[in-house]
Amino acid sequence: MKTIDSLGDLRGKRVLVRSDFNVPLDGTTITDDGRIRAALPTLTRLADAGARVVVLAHLGRPKGAPDPQYSLAPVAARLGELLGQDVPLAQDLVGPSAKATVDALADGQVALLENVRFDARETSKVDAERAELAGELAQFADAFVSDGFGVVHRKQASVYDIAQVLPAAAGDLVLNEVESLSKATGDPERPYAVVLGGSKVSDKLGVIANLLTKADRLLIGGGMVFTFLAAKGLSVGNSLLENDQIETVKGYLATAESNGVEIVLPVDIVAADSFAADAAHRVVAADAIPDGTMGLDIGPESGKLFAGKLADAKTIAWNGPMGVFEFEAFADGTKAVAQGIIEATTAGGFSIVGGGDSAAAVRVLGFDEAGFSHISTGGGASLELLEGKELPGLTVLAD
């Protein structure tokens, strides 16, 4: 991939940087700033080189129009604190405020444009619409640096199309992630265990097909569980469920069996009366989830089962928390898996944690990041790389 060095002398040049600042928020409070910290080496390097740095980022999944709950204002404030300089936030993406913000930048200064997903063209499936937005963004810049590793699997205007209209390079975070993850992409040391959880169920179900040809064991937790249990004919109450994926999952279960891949499902579930921190809850067998309740964590027996399946693994990839770890009552499954991975890593395994919330869970629950071989800023991006897919945001940076 092309590197920042290939862009030449950047003093006085306007450099657009795509970062991944999709951080977890509680209201307007950032509960884990790991993704912002991970962006600092590239931003500091560009600022130190005298560039005028204009950062593009998204937050959440707004519907292609401005939506105050997804404003990047909290990110601009935190980025400013971490960089030790005021980071102005333009009120729009390609409008008068963005233009004025970029025009006002001095050499070595960093500014942020408002959420790229407030413009429907960013995520459009129509090439010409994305290209049009990329063309408008390009007017603000002399070069583009792609450093949002967590979005390189997205064929979006600020990730993919922009790299075709400006001199483009990979930032240090993207290079570092690709190098670290490459240890698990080619010929991973076995047994190779993949732990999947979280709530982006349909996104992650998609990666399973490929993982069934690569991994030895798939451990399923989090919101993923219930589509699997339903595929086995079990009732899941009000738990997160992708009804239209049940047939696909039945196919995965059959393929796993014929490929000799072990799919490990929880044997018990923490079932709650509602989605709330103080919801009444009890541990039930996975085949006896009461009607009217929702599974918000894997149960204690499942935690032990999963840790046991990880103990001898030589390569481990983990994406997605095992439960709603943000609520203390539903964090134990995630803790058990994190602990199991740390022990397997200490015993000589190579472990990767991927995903905004999974990485946040490791830090928020008090685990030592050094216990894992690599904590990736990418969730879907790291999974797709591990699947062996070509990622549009990387291929477009090819030298």
Ligand X SMILES: Nc1ncnc2c1ncn2[C@@H]1O[C@H](COP(=O)(O)OP(=O)(O)OP(=O)(O)O)[C@@H](O)[C@H]1O
Ligand Y SMILES: O=C(O)[C@H](O)COP(=O)(O)O
Give the amino acid at 396. V
Site for ligand X, residues 307 to 326, rule: CB under 6 A: 319-321, 323-324, 326
> Maximum CA pair distance of the chain?
65
The nearest distance, CB 61 to ligand Y, in angstroms, is: 5
Residue nearest to ligand Y (CB): 22
Say whether 7 sits in a helix, a strand or coil. Answer: helix
**Residue 304 burial (CB < 10 Å; 0-12/13-18/19+)?**
middle
Burial 190-203 (b: 16+ CB within 10 A, else e): ebbbbbbbbebbee
Cβ closest to ligand X, residue 223 vs residue 299: 223
Does residue 337 belong to the site contacting ligand X (CB under 6 A)? Answer: no
Does 67 belong to an annotated binding site? no
In order, the DSSP letters of 127-138 are: HHHHHHHHHHHH
Establish whether 200 is a catalytic residue: yes
Residue number, 159 or 397, with CB nearest to ligand Y = 159
Does position 154 interact with ligand Y (CB under 6 A)? The reply is yes
State which of residues 30, 87, 296, 352 lies at the interface with ligand X (CB under 6 A). Answer: 296
Q: Looking at residue 233, what DSSP letter applies? A: T
Helix, strand, coil in percent for the chain, rounding step 5: 45, 15, 40
Stretch touching ligand Y by CB under 6 A, among 78-86, 104-112, 150-158, 298-306: 150-158
CA quadruple 376, 60, 34, 347: dihedral, nearest 10: -30
**Residue 117, annotated as binding a ligand:** yes
**Given 223, 340, 380, 393, which residue is catalytic?**
380
Tell me if 61 is assigned to a ligand binding site: yes
> Which member of 152, 379, 383, 391 binds ligand Y (CB under 6 A)?
379
From candidates 101, 176, 358, 376, binder to ligand X by CB under 6 A: 358
198 near ligand Y, rule: CB under 6 A: no
Known active-site residue 335: no
Q: Which residue is nearest to ligand X (CB)?
A: 379
For 218, phi then psi, to 5°, come to -120, 120
Specify whether 389 is catalytic: no
Q: Is 321 in the site for ligand Y (CB under 6 A)?
A: no
Pick one of ligand Y, ligand X, none as the site partner of residue 154 (Cβ within 5 to 8 A by kind): ligand Y
In the complex, least distance from residue 349 CB atom to ligand X, rounded to whole angstroms: 20
Catalytic (active site) residue 35: yes
Question: Does the CA dihedral 276-207-155-170 come out positive or negative?
Answer: positive
Rounded to whole angstroms, how far apart are CA atoms 394 and 154?
A: 10
CA–CA separation, 323 vs 330, rounded Å? Answer: 6
Annotated catalytic residues are 35, 200, 356, 380
Interface residues with ligand X (CB under 6 A) are 197-200, 222-223, 240, 295-296, 319-321, 323-324, 326, 355-358, 379-380
